[in-house]
A and B are shown apart, each in its own frame.
Chain A
Amino acid sequence: MPETLICVEQLQKFFPPARSGWRAFLQPFERATSVALAGISLEVRDGEAVALLGTNGAGKSTLLKILATLVLPTSGKASVAGHDTVEDSRAVRRQLGYHAGTDHGFYPRLTGRQNLLFFGRLNRLSQTAASKRIVSLAQRFHLEDSLDRQVRTLSTGTMQRLSLARAVLHEPCVLLLDEPTRSLDAIAAAGFRRYLKNEILRRGNTSLLFASHTLSEVEMLANRVAIIEKGRLLACDTPAALKRYTSSDTMDEVFLRITGRANPGGAHGDSAADSESASS
């Protein structure tokens, strides 16, 4: 029986309401009333890839940030490799590779290599090991020509590849990726999926939890798919099982049926805007 690497139990997260003007000074001390996660339980086993699927604001990024120790849960428990994300956050971070979906987080005036070296060294890689690994990842992610250019001169897609390289640089046993192929062109996105599938997941010693709106990516990579809506876990199973339960042919249909957006006539009606982001 594979070991559970990520364990989430009855996880709840409420945020205080956003304020502006002078009320912003009270915001840090206001009661958290806005629901982001409403009691999610989930497990990711050793070597398993689990996709988080949901509309914008469903709670996917919040869940990933809690696991990355960047956000504290309101109640419930989350652990990575047996370490509690609140009580033992340093031990959790030792196991993690994290890629945030919304920004790239590099020093713009440093080169790609200098940036990777800095973050690799902070993750306890030696100078030699980090340098070798950077060269190998640069080949894998087609970054050879960009590695010695200042990050501020790189395209959005190249920065995204650099950010993914940073997440896997220190060979973590748990990868948390928030929309990993966003901003990548089709070729780069396919290349990264192949890398994840053939070199990370096939080795079997890395677990992957990722959020994505690209359903082909979800089907290609995920052993199981967790569908989240308004902070609640609606379903979590293999893509094949989810299709079977919902009598669907595609993950698009699975998603629409499970979230209650598909109407009996087959037309998606007012769910179109939401399903658009969930479609590949």
Chain B
Amino acid sequence: MSPISVRRTLPNAWREVWLFFWRDVLIARTYRTAFLLESVEALFGAAMLYYVARFVDSPSLERALPQAGGYFAFSLVGFIFLDYLSVSLDSFDRSLQEARDSGTLEHLLVTQTSLPVLVAGSAIYPFVVTTVRIAIYIVWGVAFFHFPLYAANWLGVFAMLAATLLAFCGLGIFSASYLLLFKRGNPGKWFFLSISSVTGGMLFPVSILPDWLQFVAHLNPVSYALDGMRTALLGGAGFSALLHPLGVLLAFAAVLLPSSVFVFAWALKRTKMNGTLTHS
């Protein structure tokens, strides 16, 4: 029995999200070596960070880092998190662009699928793949480079991942709206990623930044997401320590998600008005 028929009983929206996911699985299966190559790439990525950490680690640096595991653990979490942030920002507009360029967008929009399902369904596979890739990074880190997982609060990790996903999806949907309207990549996305590479705390703690950049970091959801993730994964902190970053991320999500869906619907309407749905 195929996975499609196994889920026949799911409500329509979930069933359709599953159909989109399964479509992408089938497409990915035609690139047979991609998974293997990505796994090898993850191994080399983890190795690079490990040797950079061996080069820079010192007792004073370890004291400056908020959690256990030294600079390797700190930078690996930051590095894989950047991957997650990129996919959150990219997956919506990339799937939209692919649908537009292949001509499937028109045909998707004349099916009975609703707009939110179409948007969510097209993005779910990249999120799943990135989550798997992150897991592979961590597995390599644990297996070969002593990545410290002994203290991890897994429930906290998953809660942080879910909140991060919700908060960043809104940014991704904004980016897709921009693409729909202007037919080009979003410069706002590039700016946000650039700002986040400095103020997000990916490769160094936010505390070493000058005051004004620390202020910017406090406005950036990436810094909360990374702080919470490191606290749960490396520091093994309980939920009480995660309440602050979780609350901030959920507040970002509560604002960004509905407003981005609203803007996307408006951009789609505008595109239909102008007759430029299939233009690239």
Contacts and interface: CB of A to CB of B under 8 A. Distances in A.
Interface string A110-136: 100010011101111011100000000
Contacts of A65: 275
Contacts of B56: none
Interface in B87-113: 102-113
A105 B278 CA distance: 11
A98 B110 contact: yes
A104 B105 CA distance: 11
Contact of A69 (B30, B110, B113, B278): B110
A15 B274 contact: yes
Contacts of B30: 109-110, 150
B189 interface: no
Interface in A85-115: 90, 93-94, 96, 98, 100, 102-110, 114
Contacts of A107: 23, 27, 102, 104
B277 interface: yes
Contact of A72 (B12, B19, B273): B273
Interface stretch (B1-9, B44-52, B211-219): B1-9
Contacts of B113: 122
A28 B278 CA distance: 14
Interface string B17-34: 001000100110011000
A233 to B, nearest CB: 20
Interface residues of B, number: 39
A94 B8 CA distance: 19
B23 A93 contact: no
Given A25-B182, A105-B104, A118 B19 contact: yes
Contacts of A13: 275
A32 B4 contact: no
A27 interface: yes
A117 B23 CA distance: 10
A27 B106 CA distance: 21
Contacts of A42: none
B274 A16 contact: yes
B3 to A, nearest CB: 10
Overall SS of chain B's interface: helix
A11 B199 CA distance: 53
A123 B109 CA distance: 11
Contact of A106 (B2, B102, B109, B112): B102
A126 B10 CA distance: 12
Contacts, number: 106
A67 to B, nearest CB: 10
Given A121-B19, A122-B112, A122-B113, A110 B27 contact: yes
Contacts of B278: 102-103
B114 interface: yes
A224 interface: no
Which of B104, B110, B277, B278 counts the most chain A CB atoms within 10 A?
B110
Contacts of B103: 100, 102-106
A146 interface: no
Interface in A11-26: 13, 15-16, 24-25
Contacts of A119: 107, 111
B149 interface: no
Nearest to B1: A127
B16 interface: yes
Contacts of B31: 109
Contacts of B111: 93, 119, 122-123
Given A90-B114, A118-B19, A128-B5, 10 more contacts: A15-B274, A16-B274, A25-B182, A28-B181, A71-B275, A98-B107, A98-B110, A106-B103, A121-B19, A126-B8
15 contacts: A28-B271, A28-B274, A70-B109, A71-B277, A72-B272, A100-B103, A105-B107, A106-B104, A108-B102, A117-B4, A118-B23, A119-B111, A126-B8, A127-B4, A166-B107
The 5 residue pairs across chains A and B that have the minimum distance between CB atoms: A103-B103, A105-B103, A122-B111, A105-B107, A127-B5
